[in-house]
Amino acid sequence: MPTQTRDAAIVGIYEYPLRKAPGVTPLQIKAESAAKALEEAGLTWTDVDAIYDAGDGGAGGMSGLSIAEYFNIKPNVIDTTAVGGSSYEFHAAHAKRDIAAGKAKVALLTYGSIAHSQQFNIGTGGRGMGGGPASPVGNMEMSWGMTLIANYALVARRHMHQYGTTSEQLAEISVTTRFHAVRNPEAKQAMEDLELLPGAREITIEDVMTSRMIADPLHLLESCIISDGGGAVVIASADVVSDTKKTPVWILGTGEATKYPEAGGDITTSAAAQSAPSAFGEAGVTPGEIEIAMIYDSFTITVLTLLEDLAFCKKGEGGSYVEGGKLRFDQAGAPALNTDGGGLSSNHPGMRGLFLLTEATRQLRGESTSQVPNAKLAVAHGNGGMLGARHSGSTIILGRD
């Protein structure tokens, strides 16, 4: 592996264990997760001098000020980038840059949500205009009653038309992530607590194909679950790393991008096509060297599209690439996909980007419940907004010594 610049590393992580957590607030989830992640790293609240927050905790307006006060921290850096589910990959990229620039030494990223307890219909709820001022954002979707999942269904149908992709191939992604989920005790408990169909067990392509159609051609078992949850990630400078407790997981390369509807645009190509080359180029590695692929899985088509745009396979070849369970942790020749169970079978409280970082870190430490032996390189790619419409993408390459 080539020598990369090691400016910043993930030194502490924590994932809130409950997917059904009545009686707690998002801010409580964030605070508990932050405390546990700092403890794991061997650091304290007073060490934190940079806060990255997507305004997810219900702290009201000016979330950067609110969260700093709630945590009783007076940081040198406050970053409130909020671009949907990929916000936490953006935060990791910004933390690396801020640390490399000498503006901070210890960065704290947190997330908390009680989407399940609030019965928030993330994918199928209405997106009406709401009586607000006219806006060019969504003017081609909202007035027609377009739901979030309908956008993804359009991408799936277009991919099928353009490249011959089949529903059975998309179903392979759900089967793979559930295979990993049943090996993760917290994900397995989630299946029981959230009463996921068809129960706390592995699933088959037939299970997926016979599950209820939500937005043609996407079925229920191709859609992310709606859970409570949250977590925290601590990122530290190289001089702090030597005093932390865990094996450091270095941020080797980053990339950020946005994509939106435009005349002549291809809805089967995501923002990852722009962010991935930047991240891989900075890290000095190729997709073929990646052993762990933590990829945002709001729906199966999200994963298929991102695998192509991250250059694990050519555009249009994602269907054949995922066949045969080749993305399972116990197979060789391709990166292991979403080894915690992903948003499809472990947790998805509304924005899942932070969990991509935590599971990638566990893999590179050798602590995953679906562990790839001696894993050294991982990618975490977040997708925010709506595939096929306006969305963000951020690619993070992680590695260990």
Per-residue pLDDT for 341 more than 70?
A: yes
> What string of DSSP letters covers 3-28?
-----EEEEEEEE---SS-TT--HHH
> How many CA atoms are closer than 13 Å to the CA of 187, on its beta-carbon side?
28
Triad 375, 381, 387: Cα angle to 5°: 150
Per-residue pLDDT for 3 more than 60?
A: no
Q: What is the pLDDT of residue 141?
A: 73
The string of pLDDT tens digits covering residues 211-223 is: 999 999 999 999 9
Evaluate whether 318 touches 310 at the Cβ level (below 8 Å).
no
Residue ranges of alpha helices (H) inside 118-184 are 148-163, 167-181
Mean pLDDT of 45-52: 98
Evaluate whether 374 touches 401 at the Cβ level (below 8 Å).
no
Block residue for tokens 């865990």: 246
| For the ranges 50-64, 130-144, 275-289, the one whose mean pLDDT is highest | 275-289
Q: How far is CA 158 from CA 58, 124, 161, 166, 322, in A?
A: 37, 20, 5, 11, 18
Mean pLDDT of 78-89: 97
Q: What is the average pLDDT score of the chain?
A: 94
| DSSP conformation class of 190 | H
> What string of DSSP letters covers 321-332?
HTGGGTTSTT-S
Evaluate whether 268 touches 155 at the Cβ level (below 8 Å).
yes
Residue of 47, 51, 56, 4 whose CA lies nearest to 25: 56
Q: What percent of the chain has pLDDT over 90?
A: 87
Q: What is the pLDDT of residue 132?
A: 59
> How many CA atoms are closer than 13 Å to the CA of 383, on its beta-carbon side?
32
The pTM (predicted TM-score) of the whole model is 0.96
The string of pLDDT tens digits covering residues 277-312 is: 999 999 999 999 999 999 999 999 999 999 999 999
Which residue did the predictor score with more confidence, 252 or 137? 252
Q: How far is CA 161 from CA 93, 138, 307, 318, in A?
A: 36, 25, 18, 14
Burial of 262 (0-12, 13-18, 19+ CB in 10 A): exposed
Looking at domain 8-118+226-399, what is its CATH homologous superfamily?
A: Thiolase/Chalcone synthase (3.40.47.10)
Distance CA 244, CA 239 (A): 10
The string of pLDDT tens digits covering residues 231-254 is: 999 999 999 999 999 999 999 999
Across 276-340, where does the E strand assignment appear? 292-295, 336-337
Q: Where are the domains of the chain?
A: 8-118+226-399
For 324, list phi and psi in degrees, rounded to 5: 75, 15
Q: What is the pLDDT of residue 120?
A: 76
The DSSP H or E segment spanning 234 is strand 228-237
What is the CB neighbour count within 10 angstroms for residue 145? 10
> How many CA atoms are closer than 13 Å to the CA of 396, on its beta-carbon side?
36
Distance CA 39, CA 319 (A): 43
Q: What is the pLDDT of residue 61?
A: 65
Per-residue pLDDT for 6 more than 60?
A: yes
Per-residue pLDDT for 137 more than 90?
A: no
The string of pLDDT tens digits covering residues 152-183 is: 999 999 999 999 999 999 999 999 999 999 99
The string of pLDDT tens digits covering residues 366-400 is: 999 999 999 999 999 999 999 988 999 999 999 99
For 308, list phi and psi in degrees, rounded to 5: -70, -45
Q: What is the pLDDT of residue 63?
A: 83
Q: What is the pLDDT of residue 147?
A: 86
pLDDT-derived band of residue 1, with 50, 70 and 90 as boundaries? very low
Distance CA 322, CA 343 (A): 17
Amino acid, single-letter form, for residue 95: A
Per-residue pLDDT for 140 more than 80?
A: no
Q: How far is CA 309 from CA 73, 130, 273, 276, 359, in A?
A: 39, 34, 5, 8, 21
Distance CA 242, CA 42 (A): 11
Q: How far is CA 231 from CA 15, 42, 130, 208, 369, in A?
A: 4, 17, 32, 29, 18
Q: What is the pLDDT of residue 60?
A: 64
Q: What is the pLDDT of residue 334?
A: 97
